[in-house]
Chain A
Amino acid sequence: DAKTTQPPSMDCAEGRAANLPCNHSTISGNEYVYWYRQIHSQGPQYIIHGLKNNETNEMASLIITEDRKSSTLILPHATLRDTAVYYCIVRVAFTGYSGAGSYQLTFGKGTKLSVIP
């Protein structure tokens, strides 16, 4: 799987949009971009994923550049409960099971987002 690069930390004012960048310059054509977050002392939580089109769900929006070498996760109105470590992960699309190592989530260091009152 391609590696990702994220800033180690970011601050965001409560109520403002949080824009979390991720670089994945070696991403392959069959690799998706996934975002998970981990609130302190909890398990990671799936947020959103996409291949090349922008995606939106009830939690966030995902903007992927046309060359797919970077993406931005947008939390439109950050709240204190959004304070967490956000992980950007790229992973190949499922084309058939091949045992150990297939389709695993390889977590990088992530971005620690602090939402400030």
Chain B
Amino acid sequence: DAMVIQNPRYQVTQFGKPVTLSCSQTLNHNVMYWYQQKSSQAPKLLFHYYDKDFNNEADTPDNFQSRRPNTSFCFLDIRSPGLGDAAMYLCATSLRPGGEQFFGPGTRLTVL
């Protein structure tokens, strides 16, 4: 089945230690998104790629970066995680901007 896959499902890192979360998709969608969801809050968009075009939301901290080496894969890099970055990170895809978004299961990040 076509899907959005996130690995790992659970990630533990230390304060200040860089961490990378990965997302892959078999839907061949043009747009890939990264959302941050803190406990008991709604998901918040960090950035998205439309093909190779990277689009950062205005209030996304510089600590968060992303890479999309090809259509199928997208990575979220947190350069120096702080305790406040502990959250669920959700990857989503859509065929085009404005289209229905398909979400992965998320990666829960713990910062010690």
User: What residues make up the interface of A, taking CB atoms closer than 8 Å to B?
Assistant: 36, 38, 41-46, 49, 87, 91-94, 97, 99-110
* Contact residue among A46, A93, A106 (Cβ-Cβ distance under 8 Å from B101): A46
Given A97-B50, A105-B45, A107-B42, decide whether A49 and B100 contact each other with a Cβ distance below 8 A: yes
**B82: Cβ under 8 A from any A Cβ:** no
User: What residues make up the interface of B, taking CB atoms closer than 8 Å to A?
Assistant: 4, 33, 42-45, 47-48, 50, 53, 55-58, 90-92, 96-106
Residues of A within 8 A of B42 (CB): 87, 107-110
| Interchain CA distance A103-B4 in the complex, whole Å | 20
When A and B form their complex, what is the total count of cross-chain residue pairs whose Cβ atoms lie within 8 Å?
63
* Contact residue among A41, A45, A99, A103 (Cβ-Cβ distance under 8 Å from B53): A99
| Interchain CA distance A102-B49 in the complex, whole Å | 12
Residues of B within 8 A of A101 (CB): 55, 57-58
Q: Which residue of A lies closest to B99 (CB)?
A: A94
Question: In the bound complex, do residue A107 and residue B53 qualify as a contact, i.e. CB atoms below 8 Å apart?
Answer: no
| Interchain CA distance A94-B92 in the complex, whole Å | 18
Residues of A within 8 A of B105 (CB): 42-43
Residues of B within 8 A of A102 (CB): 55, 97-98
| Interchain CA distance A109-B90 in the complex, whole Å | 17
Question: In the bound complex, do residue A43 and residue B58 qualify as a contact, i.e. CB atoms below 8 Å apart?
Answer: no
Residues of B within 8 A of A106 (CB): 45
Given A94-B96, A94-B97, A97-B97, decide whether A42 and B106 contact each other with a Cβ distance below 8 A: yes
| Interchain CA distance A117-B61 in the complex, whole Å | 44
